[in-house]
Amino acid sequence: MKKNLGVIPAVYPMPVLMVAAYDEKKKVNAMNAAWGMCCASDKIALFIDEEHKTTQNILKTKAFTVSIADRDHMDVADFFGMATGNLIADKFERTGYHAVRSEFVDAPIIEEFPVVIECELSEIVSTGNIYAIIGKVMNVKAEEAVLSENGKVDPSKLNALIFDQFQSDYYVIGERVGKAWNAGKGLMDQ
């Protein structure tokens, strides 16, 4: 029997994404954003508050990167979600992490995270119900250590973090349990 839980954010799993942008002085700012997703084959949508320092930097520079957080970097990923660049001027520097400029967009790539999506600001969607930054994907980079033999990212090697909004915990993705567009094939012929 199901129990009513009320109105809560109940979509699971949520990705743990590190969004990074430069400010007007080319200083790196990064934030943890669980509310993001692909919205087309070459677009990503980030549902982040307009008041975030990173959001303001994206609006100025028209570019950003999105890294996928992994198990090995969970502490810094979590810190990026707790600390605000509006109050902590040395937020990125405190981590000891390194950033290089993307060759495709005017945004920083945080070197420690294994997969990064390099984006140009495509559009802002702002209504009474939603504020979203839409980025056009210009390139995706991945460390060779997380690639499979076919040259694609291997989730079992990536150990991507996911956020559990029910308990406020992090989990790791990695176990393959089936093939998409094949697991339900038997029901197609009925």
Instruction: Indicate which CATH number applies to the domain containing 65.
Output: 2.30.110.10
State the average pLDDT over residues 152-156. 94
63 falls within a domain = yes
pLDDT attached to residue 176: 83
pLDDT attached to residue 11: 87
Residues 6+ apart with CB under 8 A from 111: 97, 98, 99, 100
104 falls within a domain = yes
Its domain, for residue 171, covers 14-188
pLDDT at 170 over 80: yes
Q: Which helix (H) or strand (E) holds 3?
A: none
Which residue in 72, 151, 88 sits closest to 80, CA to CA? 88
State the average pLDDT over residues 105-132. 97
32 falls within a domain = yes
- Rounded CA separation 33/49 (Å): 10
31 falls within a domain = yes
Encode pLDDT of 47-80 as tens digits: 999 999 999 999 999 999 999 999 999 999 999 9
pLDDT at 190 over 80: no
pLDDT attached to residue 175: 80
26 falls within a domain = yes
State the average pLDDT over residues 130-147. 97
If pLDDT is split at 50, 70 and 90, which confidence band does 186 have?
confident
State the average pLDDT over residues 157-182. 90
pLDDT attached to residue 173: 86
Residues shown for the chain: 190
What's the mean pLDDT when you consider all of the chain? 94
- Rounded CA separation 68/119 (Å): 14
State the average pLDDT over residues 117-135. 97
Q: Which helix (H) or strand (E) holds 33?
A: strand 28-33
- Rounded CA separation 48/35 (Å): 7
If pLDDT is split at 50, 70 and 90, which confidence band does 3 have?
very high
Q: Into how many domains does the chain fold?
A: 1
9 falls within a domain = no
3 falls within a domain = no
State the average pLDDT over residues 86-112. 96
7 falls within a domain = no
- Rounded CA separation 179/38 (Å): 20
